[in-house]
Amino acid sequence: MRAPERGALPLGLAGTLGRAYGRLTETVQGLSDADFARETRCPGMPVGPLLVHLLYDAERALTAFASPAVAEPDRDFVSYWNDVPPQGDTSFVRTVASAYRKPAMLVQHWREVSEAAVRASAAALATKGHRVETQGHVLRATDFVATLVLEATVHHLDLIVGLPAAPEPDPEALQVTARTLDGLFGPDAWDVIAWDTTTYVLKATGRVPLDESDHDMLGPHANRLPLLG
């Protein structure tokens, strides 16, 4: 299966975000202390700290949706990722994760905040022209929700590397993520990509290294990867 068709973002993005967050909740609920200490594809962030990272992303979404912007957008769902700072010191999220006495407490906090963020996204998307400010940029609500979908989807794939019974990411969330990567890659690379969607996300974000056949397929485009950190 080739990478998804290039085009506009799907309608009903609040539902896409809800499914993306819901599958993350399904992934982490019921995990043991040992599972929360399992390594993920994010160096220095086992399952518990990575869930804290996602929790703070959902909290940032709530803040953004509650603080409408009046300025013109200066980023869309693709260009937003052009200057996002790389992941820094992970000691903070590890410390926060360890402060939860039981994994179930962290999961419950995640569920409450993520579900609130989905409700807030639905309200924002229902308001024509709604814009938000986040991390120093202004985006249309639709574009902002698409960035949240990507973050949730990529980190879902990070989380499940050591959890073989975990659900896969939502298919539409994977397509939104791949559509974003298409925009970052650029149309000159589209026709050479023959990965399935999940492999595309993993390899284009540097989660899985390129092999010799990938280099043959991509040619000079391989030098542009990873598109995201």
151-195 residue pLDDT tens:
999 999 999 998 989 999 999 999 999 999 999 998 888 889 999
Kindly list the domain boundaries of the chain, sorted by start residue: 13-169
Beta strand 131-134 with 137-140: parallel, antiparallel or unpaired? antiparallel
Region 140-159 average pLDDT: 97
**For position 8, what pLDDT does the model report?**
74
Alpha helices in 29-170 (DSSP H): 33-36, 47-65, 91-99, 103-125, 141-159
Mention every residue, 6+ apart, whose C-beta is less than 8 A from residue 36. Answer: 28, 46, 47, 48, 51, 97, 103, 106
d(C-alpha 124, C-alpha 121), whole Å: 5
d(C-alpha 62, C-alpha 51), whole Å: 17
Q: What is the amino acid identity at position 110?
A: W
The pLDDT confidence band at residue 227, using thresholds 50, 70 and 90, is very high
Please answer whether residues 93 and 57 qualify as being in contact, where contact means their C-beta atoms are separated by less than 8 angstroms: no
The yes-or-no verdict on residue 1 having pLDDT over 50 is no
The yes-or-no verdict on residue 229 having pLDDT over 90 is no
- What are the structure tokens assigned to 188, written together? 């000159």
Tell me the CATH number of domain 13-169, given options 1.20.120.450, 1.10.3720.10, 3.50.50.60, 2.60.120.280: 1.20.120.450
Of 37 and 89, the structure prediction assigns the larger pLDDT to 37
The yes-or-no verdict on residue 32 having pLDDT over 90 is yes
Percent of the chain with pLDDT over 70: 96
